[in-house]
Chain A
């Protein structure tokens, strides 16, 4: 039985609208690696450019914060649930504002589409 990674709703647009995904993994880092391989757009939301978990994204194995376990090396066993908990301010952005920020994400891919950069990974 694999581990289940719960994807919070703010990140679902970058994960094919899925609310969870299951992977075989021995550690949290491995599971998140599988997740961001399957959903490439998620990577920049979870990891910094040098591959560290972003400070405003908290990750839990079951109900424990991995910062107080072994961080990304925290071992997982079959049936564990990994939760990604990003900070939410609780605002109710208007559709327009939300779309603006969405466009900001795709702006760089716009450049790549126009040949300004060759790497089409958004934000990379």
Chain B
């Protein structure tokens, strides 16, 4: 069953398209499933994108191109050089600019006929309801549990659909939460995994096309909700496996005992989502373990002097291939098992990419009885900055 989203009242809905708009949207207008009626629905629709990153990129581009009349863009981050591999809204010249503003400029260039509002702010329990209230559909393109639960709860409290998408390495999930008879995110997952047990992440990273595909699915669902056409993903969790190139779907049910959308809700206002997810303080980079350090310049001087130092690289083999200091490779995760490979009588300098993992390694080895061990402060990144700029940073 198709479900239509009721546009927010307030401003008078547009009742016609200009000749230029008719030309721009002609490939929509000649489809009976969209037509003039559908295009006017799009023009009168207001969609809020939470996050303008990997998922937000195709979302913003396709929704702007399709003629969604008002787009809100919420992001507090700035464009980083490493974002360009997948966040296709941004160009190289956008690096360093606020994402919400860079995305707004790009989308305004794509479609000057629509209204685009950027919100350079972090979505919080204090501002979510106020931000959401003027929009018809909320699209969740975030990357962390606290914001996902916040978006879900705010959508339920305001009765707004939540077009959900998430990715992990080669796999994606998408569905539509928050429709009157459909389930919400908490029906599926009443609570997040505790931080220590997040099924992580033996390797980071994501194939750049994956958020493109999942974000495009979210854009399609958003447009279908606005048009009231087709079968949307309410009550279905779409699973996408990019490596196997397989789509599967699972049934989602509304949980009558759901704490937020059930028959007797216990959550009736927004809560502290960082506390709920047990990640308070984790957002800020935690204090690195205090261990004896050596600066890159000191290390360079000692190596030049011919000191007998054993360089221990605790990164992963695929990182070693990117760049290395010709150290002995022993990944942090294997350290406990392979500690016997190390000679505690020799002076050891441990390093990683930024100095965090090697600090953990030094801490561990000191507890294991190693006395002559130092951490390379700032890791390979600092070595590249201070000693050898030919070493690439990643």
Contact = CB atoms under 8 A, between A and B. Distances in A.
B46 interface: no
A106 B333 CA distance: 7
A58 B189 contact: yes
Interface of B: 54-55, 142-145, 148, 165-171, 173, 188-193, 196-206, 237, 239, 244, 248-253, 315-316, 319, 331-333, 335-337, 339, 352-354, 356-357, 360, 364, 367-368
A90 interface: yes
Nearest to B314: A99
A93 B189 CA distance: 21
A83 B316 CA distance: 30
Given A60-B250, A90-B168, A110 B336 contact: yes
20 contacts: A8-B171, A8-B199, A9-B170, A10-B201, A55-B190, A58-B189, A60-B250, A83-B250, A90-B142, A90-B143, A90-B167, A93-B201, A96-B204, A96-B356, A99-B352, A100-B360, A103-B335, A107-B364, A110-B364, A113-B339
Interface string A31-61: 0000000000000110000000011101010
A118 interface: no
Nearest to B322: A95
Contact of A95 (B196, B336, B353, B360): B353
A2 interface: no
Interface of A: 8-13, 19, 44-45, 54-56, 58, 60, 63-65, 68, 83, 85-107, 109-110, 113-114
Given A83-B250, A106-B336, A96 B353 contact: yes
Nearest to B198: A101
B253 A68 contact: yes
B251 A63 contact: yes
Most chain B beta-carbon neighbours within 10 Å: one of A54, A99, A100, A110: A99
A76 B343 CA distance: 53
Contacts of B244: 19
Given A95-B205, A106-B333, A88 B167 contact: yes
